[in-house]
Amino acid sequence: MRRYALSDSQWEQIRDLLPGREGHVGGTAADNRLFVEAVLYRYRAGIPGRDLPTRVGDWKNVHRRLRRWCESGVIERIFRHLAADHDNAYMMIDSTIVRAHQHSAGARKKGGADQAIGRSRGGLTTKIHAIVDAAGKAVALSLTPGQRADITEAEPLLDEVDPKAFIADKAYDADPLIDKLEDREITPVIPSKRNRRNPRKTSFLLYKNRNIIERFFARLKHFRGIATRYDKLKSTFLAAVQLASAIIGIN
């Protein structure tokens, strides 16, 4: 198998979700697999698009097609379709910060568009927020500027899932989130902060499983183009995170 290529099992699970497939409206694309592998290769190796191997074709065409799939929601549909087959026993949330390369800055702001790049003493950063299930599969993702607090994305992402228990660290110990979980009859597994007057009981036996999301982020950052953000547009980088998450979630 070629370096960073899809395995046959990975390809079988996404091939029928792509435009240009046999029987789909319009022409049949003969190179869907090659294109997906080209995108994965670029992010796995962390190289500029123009440095893609010649076997994948013109790098400009790869970039145009990736942007077209981003705009039409193709990659998001792949991610959501695969994420729908998840384990509801318990889920967990966390975030990770990635450095944004200087080349990722400078995107034109159309209508005040947020490109999820923050500025701080550490430079340019983006924060990836994720919810994963008990098997380590990502089921909800979002991006914010790096300085944004973790808790800000908890409720929006929680609206996309329905676990029996929800695991998070102390950064998520906030009454509005706890109340929302309890209203939905989801057991919060979130240790209380030291300044909480009436600490809640927490199942630390279940809390130990939070290492699952840490392992997910470790695997995601094997993609060097995600561990360091080079994309100017939030939509392109989010699509890359979604595609990589979907692929690593396939057994």
Pick from 84, 71, 187, 209: nearest CA to 140: 84
Structure tokens at 82: 């695969």
| Residue that the structure tokens 């800055």 belong to | 105
Whether the pLDDT of residue 27 is over 60: the answer is no
Whether the pLDDT of residue 25 is over 60: the answer is no
Band of pLDDT at residue 1, cut at 50, 70 and 90: very low
Identify the weakest region by mean pLDDT among 22-26, 62-66, 158-162: 22-26
172 φ, ψ to 5°? -100, 10
What is the predicted pLDDT for the residue at 31? Answer: 86
Measured between alpha carbons, how far is residue 235 from residues 71, 75, 182, 198, 240 in Å?
Answer: 8, 10, 33, 42, 9
Band of pLDDT at residue 4, cut at 50, 70 and 90: confident
Long-range contacts of 198-202 (CB under 8 A, 24+ apart): none
Band of pLDDT at residue 250, cut at 50, 70 and 90: confident
Structure tokens at 183: 């209203």
- Residues 235-244 have a mean pLDDT of 96
Percent of the chain with pLDDT over 90: 75
How far is Cα 16 from Cα 146, in angstroms, rounded to an integer? 35
Distance in Å from the first CA to the final CA of the chain:
17
The pLDDT mean for the chain works out to 90
- Residues 212-227 have a mean pLDDT of 97
Q: What is the pLDDT of residues 72-115, one digit of tens each?
A: 999 999 999 999 989 999 999 999 999 999 888 877 666 557 89
Q: What are the residues whose beta carbons fall under 8 Å from the beta carbon of 189, sequence distance 6 or more?
A: 90, 165, 166, 167, 168, 202, 203, 206, 207
What is the predicted pLDDT for the residue at 5? Answer: 84
Segments of 50-167 assigned E as strands: 91-100, 118-120, 123-133, 138-145, 165-167
CB-count burial class (<10 Å; 0-12, 13-18, 19+) for 90? buried
Band of pLDDT at residue 23, cut at 50, 70 and 90: low
Per-range mean pLDDT, top range of 29-33, 81-85, 128-132: 128-132
Q: Please, are residues 249 and 83 in contact by the beta-carbon 8 Å criterion?
A: yes
What is the predicted pLDDT for the residue at 251? Answer: 67
| Residue that the structure tokens 């007057």 belong to | 197
How far is Cα 185 from Cα 203, in angstroms, rounded to an integer? 16
How far is Cα 67 from Cα 235, in angstroms, rounded to an integer? 9
Q: What is the pLDDT of residues 161-200, one digit of tens each?
A: 999 999 999 999 999 999 999 999 999 999 999 888 888 8
How far is Cα 97 from Cα 146, in angstroms, rounded to an integer? 6
Q: Please, are residues 138 and 76 in contact by the beta-carbon 8 Å criterion?
A: no
- Residues 139-149 have a mean pLDDT of 95
Whether the pLDDT of residue 122 is over 80: the answer is no
What secondary structure letter does DSSP report for 45? H
| Residue that the structure tokens 């074709």 belong to | 57
